[in-house]
Each structure stands twice: as structure tokens, then as C-alpha cells.
């Protein structure tokens, strides 16, 4: 069934990560990366996950996307267990790359190539709407080489939006952008989440930029160094739009830093 915003009433739990542990294997020895990690995200919530470099954040996101099976524990989206990649979950990878020989539109369509249930016309309509929602109207026929870094990232976001996911997973999507572009794209991500026209009901954002987190997140989950467990969880009770220069804002930033250290 196609995801719509209205299928989940406000307060519905969209995503739950339940006691997830993961061991990689290095020279046949288990390398524990995640230990008993639990978190959840409700409708319209943006959950930020942060933690030291190499602690296992990208691994956690891949598990949520169904790309890696946890050693133990489970992930559920709208109550159903994630057992592999699913159409209602989209991920924008940390080192996201576009196909350089395809236009912005073709890159978005490429992300929908597995959708056998859609006609080409339907795919086109959805791809165009996703590009518009990612702020790329007018750039459909431009090749990646002619797009700025921020625009390339937006194509990545559009590709993730085009499949109309319930859950959008973003792995450090702003880290390689200049401040102004990153700021613009941050605002867009939040409006995509609360926009009734999009299917996205919840977002998990990986970031190590604490100010970015306080600007965007409803909830912050702080992971410890590897093997990562949840060091703490903070609900950010700051009204929006958030004033990044206010004293209150920095008090929240400090709370996250306190958990990270
Ligand atoms: N496929 C793999 N096989 C074995 N070990 C891996 C694999 N992928 C990642 N690792 C190891 O698992 C740990 C966690 O990696 P991961 O990429 O999840 O961390 P991260 O928190 O996203 O790091 P960063 O902040 O640098 O992006 C690291 O020690 C990494 O070397
Ligand atoms: Mg990572």
C-alpha cells in the first residue's frame, strides 16, 4: 500500500529500533559495533542520532534500512518488522554519488527503476514532484557536472523522496556543503517532513554537528564510542523556528555535548 501522511495519526510510532546489536567479523573474530540500541520516532518527528566518529552510526542506519541484518534485536516500521530493503524506507548515503551521465531527472527515475508497479508516466509524475519538493524545479535536465554541491545533495534527497517513503534516513547529508547551502537544505528537510503533500512521516538524521541537531531535531539519541550503546536521549523542547543565536539554543547544544563527552 502506498504511504500517505494521513495513515498515521499524530503520535503514532512510525519507526522503532528494538534492542539492536551488531557484530562485524574481523579475521573471524567478532567485532562488536552496536550493543542493545533502542530508539523510536513518531509521526512528524525528526530524530537525530549522533556519536563519536566510527561508533556505528552508518551501520545503525543501514540496519534500519534493511541493508544489514542485526545480530540480535529488531527494527519495525509502522509495526511491521524490517527484514530487507523496503519501498517505504529511503536512505541518502553518507558518500552519496549521482550517475554523471544522467540528468537530475534521470537520476531520480533511476532510483525508481525497481518499481514494477508503476507505469513510466506515473514514475515521471512522481519524479517531477520529488524534484519540486527538493527545490529543484527547472533543473530536471541538467547533468550533475553542472550542478553545485548543494544541488547534487538535493537530487539525492529527491531520489529518496520519489519512492514516497514513510521513513527517510539521512546520513550526514549536509556535511560537505558550505554553510549557506547547508542551512537552506536543512530548512527544506524539515518542511518536507511537515508538508502534508509528501509521504514522509518520520526522519532519522545522522549528524555530528550539534548546532544542526538542535536546529532540526525533536529528539536526539547520543551513542557512545564503539561498541555503541545509547549514552542518552534528549527531547528538544524548543519552539520553531528556532533562534540559533538565543541563549536557550546554546543551553540545548550544551546538553548534547555533555552526553557526548
Ligand atoms: N562492512 C564492514 N565490515 C567490518 N567492519 C566494518 C564494516 N563497516 C564498518 N565497519 C567498522 O564498524 C565501525 C562502525 O562504522 P560506521 O561506518 O558505522 O561508523 P560511523 O559512526 O558511521 O562513523 P563516521 O562518524 O566516521 O561516519 C568502524 O569501526 C568500522 O571500521
Ligand atoms: Mg558514518
Cα 257 from chain centre:
22
Residue 150 Cβ inside 6 Å of ligand 1? The answer reads no
24 CB less than 6 Å from ligand 1? yes
Can you give the pLDDT at residue 117? 87
Report the residue among 33, 52, 169, 209 best suited for mutation to probe ligand 1: largest number of ligand atoms under 8 A from its CB: 33
Per-residue pLDDT of the chain (261 residues; tens, 9 = 90+): 567 777 888 889 999 999 999 999 988 899 999 999 999 999 999 999 999 999 999 999 999 999 999 999 999 999 999 999 998 999 998 777 899 999 999 999 998 888 888 899 999 999 999 898 888 999 999 999 999 888 898 899 899 888 889 999 999 988 877 788 788 888 888 988 888 888 999 999 999 999 999 999 999 999 999 999 999 999 999 999 899 999 999 999 999 999 998
Give the number of residues written for the chain. 261
Atom 8 of ligand 1, residue of closest alpha carbon: 59
Ligand with an atom nearest the CA of residue 54: 1
Cβ(226) – ligand 1 distance below 6 Å: yes
Residue whose C-alpha is closest to residue 39's, from 76, 86, 71, 94:
76
- Global pTM reads 0.93
Pocket test for ligand 1, best of 59, 95, 205 (most atoms within 8 A of CB): 59
Question: Which pLDDT score is estimated for 188?
Answer: 84
Identify the three-state secondary structure at position 164: coil
Give pLDDT, residue 2: 65
User: Taking the mean position of all CA atoms in its chain, how far away is CA 76?
Assistant: 16
Domains of the chain: 5-88+166-260 (3.40.50.300), 96-163 (no CATH)
Residue 57 Cβ inside 6 Å of ligand 1? The answer reads: yes
C-alpha cell at 174: 549536509
Contact in structure between 45 and 202 (CB atoms under 8 Å): yes
Between CA 256 and CA 212, with CA 231 as vertex, the angle to 5 degrees is 30
Amino acid at each position: 500500500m502506498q504511504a500517505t501522511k494521513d495513515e498515521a495519526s499524530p503520535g503514532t510510532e512510525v519507526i522503532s529500533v528494538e534492542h539492536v546489536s551488531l557484530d562485524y567479523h574481523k579475521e573471524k573474530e567478532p567485532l562488536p559495533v552496536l550493543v542493545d540500541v533502542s530508539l523510536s520516532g513518531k509521526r512528524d518527528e525528526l530524530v537525530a542520532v549522533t556519536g563519536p566518529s566510527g561508533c556505528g552510526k552508518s551501520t545503525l542506519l543501514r540496519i534500519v534500512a534493511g541493508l544489514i541484518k542485526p545480530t540480535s534485536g529488531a527494527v519495525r516500521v509502522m509495526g511491521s518488522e524490517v527484514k530487507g530493503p523496503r519501498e517505504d524506507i529511503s536512505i541518502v548515503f553518507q558518500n552519496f554519488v549521482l550517475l554523471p551521465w544522467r540528468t537530475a531527472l534521470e537520476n531520480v527515475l533511476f532510483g525508481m527503476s525497481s518499481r514494477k508497479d508503476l507505469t513510466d508516466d506515473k514514475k515521471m509524475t512522481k519524479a517531477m514532484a520529488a524534484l519540486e519538493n527538493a527545490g529543484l524545479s527547472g533543473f530536471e535536465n541538467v547533468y550533475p557536472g553542472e550542478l553545485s554541491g548543494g544541488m547534487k545533495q538535493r537530487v539525492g534527497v529527491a531520489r529518496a523522496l520519489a519512492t514516497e517513503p514513510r521513513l527517510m534516513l539521512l546520513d550526514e547529508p549536509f556535511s560537505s556543503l558550505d554553510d549557506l547551502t547547508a542551512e537552506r537544505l536543512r530548512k527544506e528537510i524539515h518542511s518536507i517532513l511537515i508538508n502534508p503533500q509528501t509521504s514522509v512521516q518520520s526522519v532519522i538524521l545522522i549528524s555530528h554537528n550539534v548546532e544542526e541537531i538542535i536546529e532540526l531535531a525533536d529528539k536526539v539519541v547520543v551513542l557512545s564510542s564503539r561498541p555503541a550503546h545509547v549514552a542518552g536521549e534528549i527531547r528538544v523542547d524548543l519552539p520553531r523556528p528556532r533562534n540559533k543565536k538565543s541563549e536557550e539554543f546554546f543551553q540545548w547544544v550544551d546538553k548534547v555535548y555533555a552526553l557526548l563527552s
